[in-house]
């Protein structure tokens, strides 16, 4: 079974399983049934069994899954058994915060460098290089970086994305408030906080009739 | 037509239309056809016409939409014609960054206060109150805040959400890396950066066969 052929919906559930398993292991639980995983995740036991079987992770009928074994397998499937090198492009408020945020700053990620058109190194976290954009191609290629977090303004986004992809980046977490185009084979996740906040505002109003011709 | 009855898929497209219209107006474009909107958004002209008609925004057949009129209408539909009061709960790296990030800090949003179990006011942006959690109910009720950005750790999330909802919050942008439960009528958008980054890492690997029994 090929990595890229796994349905995206299945792939997106893997980190959820991993999180639950981490919690179970922290609570010293050695074996977990599909039913407990179902209660914890909100997915059906059937869906869970199918998802895991897809990657060759089979539990023992009647017993369930060994938590340590399953967690180790998931780490490998997701790719967290090795340290992933990433770069952060755009070192403004959001970029800076992400380099310090424990979702990004953790044991399976190495932030090789941050980049900005106007790097201010004094504010960097210890050990983080903050470099000018001109060094981006060189760093990506030398360190064989595949993953980038994009926190540049909308107007710069496509140009930067083209540069990233040209130099070997294959996965982008895009926070720039705009669509970006990438070639086939490059994976993008868009987090558009402006859109999300505006949608939130829409829903914050009382359920009222919206009038025509206002 | 009632606000809450509009399909979520339609609601989520509204801020995209608004963004495109802002761009068009900046370029001094007075009238726009569904076809141009289609090119700019990636949605079909038919979808766009349907979406806008849903809210009573009809263009003129053969001419298109007046950009200023449509933008004004969209501002009202989304709810951005008035300033929305919001609070940020959890004033760590991410919370702080969001209070400075222009997706959040802009003319239609008033960040009434940020909250933290351990508020450090010196780092706050000018004019932003950073308060202890004990003041949260009072502030929400007095200012009639409906929207909250949640940037607390996973273990605190549900307890804080319960407090928010109890005091009148109806829309939550959740960054805590965990699921949260809310009653019907409360809208939540989950941005789980850990999950997104792990998915990115999955896709950053070469398309290889994943082996059974590794």
Q: What is the ipTM of this complex?
A: 0.88
What pLDDT is recorded for position B123?
58
Number of domains in chain B: 2
Asked if residue B26 belongs to a domain, the reply is yes
Choice among A115-119, B88-92, B106-110 with the minimum mean pLDDT = B106-110
The tens digit of pLDDT for each residue in A87-110 reads 999 998 889 888 888 777 788 899
What pTM did the predictor assign? 0.84
Looking at the structure, tell me whether residues B63 and B150 fall in a common domain: no
Range of the domain at B42: 8-76
Higher-pLDDT residue of A101 and A18 is A18
Q: d(Cα A189, Cα A173) in Å, to the nearest integer?
A: 5
Looking at the structure, tell me whether residues A29 and A105 fall in a common domain: no
Q: What is the mean pLDDT of chain B?
A: 89
Residues of B with Cβ-Cβ distance to A195 under 8 angstroms: 12, 15-16, 19
Residue A167 has pLDDT above 90, yes or no: yes
Asked if residue A60 belongs to a domain, the reply is yes
Nearest-CA distance from B153 to chain A in Å? 10
The tens digit of pLDDT for each residue in A28-48 reads 999 999 889 999 888 999 999
Looking at the structure, tell me whether residues A188 and A93 fall in a common domain: yes
Tell me the CATH number at B50. Answer: 1.10.10.10
% of chain B beyond a pLDDT of 70: 93
Looking at the structure, tell me whether residues B23 and B122 fall in a common domain: no
Asked if residue B3 belongs to a domain, the reply is no
Paired tokens of B78: 């989304």
Residue B13 has pLDDT above 60, yes or no: yes
Nearest-CA distance from B180 to chain A in Å? 12
Looking at the structure, tell me whether residues A190 and A98 fall in a common domain: yes
Beta strand A31-32 with A65-66: parallel, antiparallel or unpaired? antiparallel
Asked if residue B189 belongs to a domain, the reply is yes
Asked if residue B1 belongs to a domain, the reply is no
Query: Of the residues B27, B42, B76, which one is the last residue of a structural domain?
Result: B76
Q: What is the mean pLDDT of chain A?
A: 89
Residue A122 has pLDDT above 70, yes or no: no
Of the candidates B147, B196, B210, the beta carbon closest to that of A3 is on B210
Looking at the structure, tell me whether residues B69 and B116 fall in a common domain: no
Asked if residue B36 belongs to a domain, the reply is yes
The tens digit of pLDDT for each residue in B164-212 reads 999 999 999 999 988 899 999 999 999 888 889 999 999 988 766 665 4
Residue B124 has pLDDT above 80, yes or no: no
Looking at the structure, tell me whether residues A107 and A125 fall in a common domain: yes
Handedness of CA A136, A141, A145, A147 (dihedral sign): positive
Residues of B with Cβ-Cβ distance to A103 under 8 angstroms: 177, 192-194, 197
Looking at the structure, tell me whether residues B187 and B107 fall in a common domain: yes
Query: Of the residues B28, B45, B76, which one is the last residue of a structural domain?
Result: B76
Question: How far is CA B102 from each of CA A198, B82, B109, rounded to the nearest angstrom?
Answer: 13, 17, 10
Tell me the CATH number at B119. Answer: 3.40.50.720
Higher-pLDDT residue of B140 and B213 is B140
The DSSP call for residue A210 is P
Query: Of the residues B55, B76, B97, which one is the last residue of a structural domain?
Result: B76
Paired tokens of A16: 């959820």
Nearest-CA distance from B198 to chain A in Å? 6
Q: d(Cα B87, Cα A13) in Å, to the nearest integer?
A: 30
């Amino acid at each position: 079974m090929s990595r890229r052929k796994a349905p995206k919906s299945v792939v997106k559930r893997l980190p959820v399983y991993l999180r639950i398993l981490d919690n179970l292991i922290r609570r010293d639980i050695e074996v977990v049934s599909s039913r407990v995983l179902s209660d914890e995740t909100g997915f059906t036991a059937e869906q869970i069994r199918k998802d895991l079987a897809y990657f060759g992770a089979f539990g023992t009928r009647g017993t369930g899954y060994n938590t340590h074994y399953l967690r180790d397998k998931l780490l490998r499937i997701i790719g967290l058994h090795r340290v992933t090198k990433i770069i952060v492009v755009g070192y403004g408020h959001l970029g800076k915060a992400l380099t310090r945020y424990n979702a990004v700053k953790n044991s399976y990620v190495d932030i090789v460098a941050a980049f900005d058109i106007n790097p201010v190194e004094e504010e960097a976290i210890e050990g983080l290089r903050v470099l000018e954009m001109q060094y981006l191609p060189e760093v990506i290629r030398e360190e064989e970086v595949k993953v980038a977090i994009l926190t540049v303004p909308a107007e710069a986004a496509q140009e930067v994305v083209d540069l990233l992809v040209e130099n070997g980046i294959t996965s982008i977490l895009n926070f720039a408030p705009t669509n970006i185009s990438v070639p086939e084979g490059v994976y993008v996740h868009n987090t558009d906080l402006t859109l999300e906040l505006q949608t939130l505002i829409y829903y914050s109003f009382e359920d009222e009739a919206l009038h025509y011709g206002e």
